[in-house]
Each structure stands twice: as structure tokens, then as C-alpha cells.
Amino acid sequence: MRKPRRPTAADYRALADLRFALRQFSAFSTAAASQAGLPAQQHQALLAIKGTAEGEPMTVGLLAAQLLIAPHSAAELVNRLAEAGYAAVSTDSHDRRRHILALTAKAEAVLEALSDVHMNEISNLAPRLVEALTVLTNGTPASPDE
């Protein structure tokens, strides 16, 4: 944990650039998902389901936590994903109150295509993000060799 300090002009520039880069990425992501026929929140849900740790089942409650939404909103989102053919929902054999979520082949295909363009966009934004984060965590700009 770093020692608290007063923000410098460089810190404010870095914070502003970080926020701008994150907003740019968010706008890019929303547009890419829309172009693929998905609302942004559905894309985020598919990614959360796919990104679940191996051996850990994705549940409606965990999805709600991952997306920072209410459990009832996550349940509605899962219903929309299932109706669109993107998610399969099964009942947990150990706890019938829990529903386990999985991606369908249709979801896997769209998520792979979206992830490819997202990783490319992240590669483009990475130098700005690294620079801003370096200033904010170390108080100094990254060296050109990094």
C-alpha cells in the first residue's frame, strides 16, 4: 500500500487520461457488441460466464456480483440470454435452488469474435494505460524502455 500524498499535476493528467482511455474502451466495446447483435450487458454476461474459474460453476448470484447488478436483474438477463440461444441453464444437482449457467455454441462463436477485436483494441490502448497507471502508482512516468 502506498503512502498517501497530495496529487500532482502529473497525477491529474494521468487520472484524466486513464478515465478517457477507459471511456474510449467502453464505447468501443458497446459498439462492437452492438455490431455483433448483442446489447453490451449481454456481452459482459457472456464474458463473465466464459471467464469463470475452472471448476467453479457460474450461477445467477455470481453473475450478479460480477456485473454489479441486482440478483433479480441477473435472472432477467439470463432469461434473455437463454431465449436468444446464448446460455444454457441447468439446476445444480446439490442445491436445486441454484441455477448453473453455461454458454452455447452460438455464444462461444460470437464471444470468440468479440474477444479478438477487444484484445486488439486493448493492445492499442495498452501504452496509454500503462503510462497512466505507472504515474499513479509510482508517481513517475514509465521509462521509454518499459
- Record the pTM: 0.89
For 49-61, the pLDDT digits (tens) are: 999 999 899 999 9
Domain boundaries defined on the chain: 9-137
Q: For position 2, what pLDDT does the model report?
A: 66
How far is 135 from 10, CA to CA, in rounded Å? 7
Q: Which three cell numbers stand for residue 23?
A: 471511456
Burial of 1 from C-beta contacts in 10 A (0-12 / 13-18 / 19+): exposed
Place of cell 482511455: 21
Neighbours of 45 (CB within 10 A): 27
| pLDDT at residue 31 is higher than 90 | yes
Whether pLDDT at 144 is above 60? no
The listed CATH number (3.20.20.70, 3.40.190.150, 1.10.10.10, 1.10.8.640) that belongs to domain 9-137: 1.10.10.10
Residues facing 89 on adjacent strands: 101
* Pairing status of strand 87-91 against strand 99-103: antiparallel
pLDDT tens figures, 67-125: 999 999 999 999 999 999 999 999 988 888 899 999 999 999 999 999 999 999 999 99
Contact of 85 with 66, CB cutoff 8 Å: no
